[in-house]
Amino acid sequence: MTRLIIGAMVRAIGAYPSGWRYPGAHRDPRRDAAVLRRTAQVAEAARLDYLFFGDWLATGHDLEFRDPYLVARIDPISAITYLSGITSRIGLIATANTSYADPYTLARSTASIDLLSGGRAGLNLVTGAEPRAAGNHGLDFHAANEARYDRAVEFEIVLRRLWDSFEDDAFVADAASGAYLDPQKLHATDFHGEHLSVTGPLNVARPVQGHLPIVHAGTSPRSRLFAAQSADLALVAVGGLEHAVGIREELRSLAFESGRDDRTLKVIAPVLPIVGETREHAQSIADELSELVQIAEDWPGGPPSAFPANRSIAQLSALVGVDLAELSPDRSVTTELVAQFNAPGQELVEIVAERTGRSPGGDRPPTLRHLVVAASVNASMVVGTADDIAAEFEAWGDAGAVDGFNVLSAVQPQQFEAFALQVVPELQRRGVFPTEYEGETLRDHLGLGRPGNVHVTPGDAALQGASPRDRAGRGAVETAPRHP
């Protein structure tokens, strides 16, 4: 029996493209504060390990159709600062982009939040470069993208050195002698790399957790290497149970070859559960969400210029190997039509049936729209009752596929609350998730120890330059099995 790590990836207007259109859904970003407050309260009552806030450093009309939750959202550092004052136990993880962030400023704000929250802050480091984000920060996109992982390696080392500027017992505060600080226990950062140069020390006391837990997500070999070397949580999107087992084994092998205890790397998969009172009820919710997704053919004169190219019957035709261009999006998919599909097309029909209960030849056959949506909306979905979803989570944990899940909610607040109030109790009944918090800090929730200070721990990798550690890891990457 495996104790799962369960966190919630918070997207205030829902994680599904049409989630905001669902009846009763939150859809006004000007009122996000109330949703965030309610989400945090429900999540903490359910004893979730953490709330996770992603980020995107630009906006545009294209996001309205592709990922509406990205159009306007609260800054993640601000979000966890706000929630730290109205919660007392749940972990709070914010995202920062190492391509654009300033390490001193970030170290200062995150150390402060960890102290103010009693040790509940975490930090998701991302490396992605995007033209609009680069322009917003006065940088050349191509230059930033080319160097992004080299800079990220230096960034993580600098963060740890800054967080450890003060030793835990540096503050003597002896009123009788007048000694406030032991100067031998205040350390300069003194990092001068290819991309970053920081002198330090940081003007904030050492975080409660020593170092905030670091999270990293990605699928490229370099991303996996960075996660294996530097992260406490690796967020990995996977295509199924067998694939997940292989990815977790690869990441832990890379961690071991890079010189760390591979057991300290926790592998977390994102998942979007659709929860219903019955399986048919859950499928009806997924069905309605699919029907609310706009596709290119909904505009007789052609979709807006920013519309996602993959959300169309033309792209579906290429995927299934049959020309469907002249057919209506609401055309039923018959068994005769499916017989013409190639293997990927037939697999897509099975996915739609599993999610929505619609199958060719049945009373409610799927439409072409259902197939377009299933093919173009990138989400690892589990549809069913609380028991169905808990059983799936438990099976993945017992198979060694993951250490836990980052749960997305298609519709806020309904689907998040359905998960917290129905699925979590079932996980607790099965013994794979605790009924009470077992520690005080986020590191406690994740089963991680408190690290020593890098300035006083002999041979600590975080005091080394980027190159030696990166070379060791690169050697491991060359010999590791590949899981696309």
In tens, the pLDDT along 35-50 reads: 999 999 999 999 999 9
SS3 of 28-46: the string is CHHHHHHHHHHHHHHHHHC
The alpha carbon of residue 58 and the mean position of all alpha carbons in its chain are separated, in whole angstroms, by 18
**What share of the chain has pLDDT > 90, as a percent?**
85
pLDDT digits (tens, 9 = 90+) for 401-442: 999 999 999 999 999 999 999 999 999 999 999 999 999 999
SS3 of 65-124: the string is HHCHHHCCCCCHHHHHHHHHCCCCCCEEEEEEECCCCCHHHHHHHHHHHHHHHCCCEEEE
C-alpha dihedral sign at 353, 397, 273, 69? negative
pLDDT over 50 at 194, yes or no: yes
With vertex at residue 203, the alpha carbon angle to CA 198 and CA 204, rounded to the nearest 5 degrees, is 120
Contacts 24+ apart (CB under 8 A), 78-84: 79/10, 79/36, 79/53, 80/51, 80/53, 80/113, 80/117, 80/121, 81/113, 81/116, 82/33, 82/36, 83/36, 83/37, 83/40, 83/51, 84/113, 84/116, 84/117, 84/120, 84/121
Q: Which of 237, 190, 234 has the alpha carbon at shortest distance from 213? A: 234
Structure tokens at 168: 């835990």
- Return the H-helix or E-strand segment holding 248: helix 241-257
Domain with CATH 3.20.20.30 in the chain: 5-272+381-446
pLDDT digits (tens, 9 = 90+) for 364-397: 999 999 999 999 998 899 999 999 999 999 999 9
If you average pLDDT over residues 60-73, what whole number do you get? 91
Give the pLDDT of residue 128: 78
Assigned CATH for 5-272+381-446: 3.20.20.30
pLDDT digits (tens, 9 = 90+) for 216-242: 998 888 999 999 999 999 999 988 899
Which backbone phi and psi does 403 adopt, to 5 degrees? Answer: -95, -15
Amino acid at 105: T
CA separation for the pair 126, 223 (Å, rounded): 9
CA separation for the pair 6, 81 (Å, rounded): 21
Split at pLDDT 50, 70, 90, the class of 158 is very high
Find tokens 């018959």 and name the residue.
334
Q: What share of the chain is helix, strand, coil (3-state, %, to 5)?
A: 45, 15, 45
Residue 393: Cβ-neighbour burial (10 angstroms; 0-12, 13-18, 19+):
buried
pLDDT over 60 at 311, yes or no: yes
Cα 335 to Cα 327, 340, 359, distances in angstroms: 16, 9, 9
pLDDT over 60 at 183, yes or no: yes
Give the pLDDT of residue 472: 42
For the chain, the maximum distance between any two Cα atoms, rounded to a whole number of angstroms, is 90
If you average pLDDT over residues 466-470, what whole number do you get? 44
Q: Which of 4, 26, 2 has the alpha carbon at shortest distance from 415? A: 26
- Return the H-helix or E-strand segment holding 51: strand 50-53
Q: Which of 75, 125, 73 has the alpha carbon at shortest distance from 96? A: 125
- The answer to whether residues 401 and 268 touch, using CB atoms and an 8 Å cutoff, is no
Question: How much is the mean pLDDT over the chain?
Answer: 92
pLDDT over 50 at 470, yes or no: no
Strand 91-97 versus strand 197-198 pairing type = unpaired
Give the pLDDT of residue 459: 56
If you average pLDDT over residues 441-451, what whole number do you get? 97
Which backbone phi and psi does 4 adopt, to 5 degrees? Answer: -85, 145
CA separation for the pair 254, 232 (Å, rounded): 13
Amino acid at 326: E
Residue environment code for 146-155, b if the CB has 16+ CB neighbours within 10 A, otherwise e: ebbbbbbbbb
Give the pLDDT of residue 458: 60
Query: Is 13 or 239 the better-scoring residue by pLDDT?
Result: 13
- The answer to whether residues 118 and 441 touch, using CB atoms and an 8 Å cutoff, is yes
pLDDT over 60 at 464, yes or no: no
What region, left, alpha or beta, does residue 196 occupy, with left being phi > 0 and alpha being psi -120 to 50 degrees? Answer: beta
Give the pLDDT of residue 483: 36
pLDDT over 50 at 479, yes or no: no
Query: Is 257 or 466 the better-scoring residue by pLDDT?
Result: 257
Give the pLDDT of residue 144: 67
CA separation for the pair 96, 75 (Å, rounded): 10
How much is the pTM? Answer: 0.93
pLDDT over 60 at 467, yes or no: no
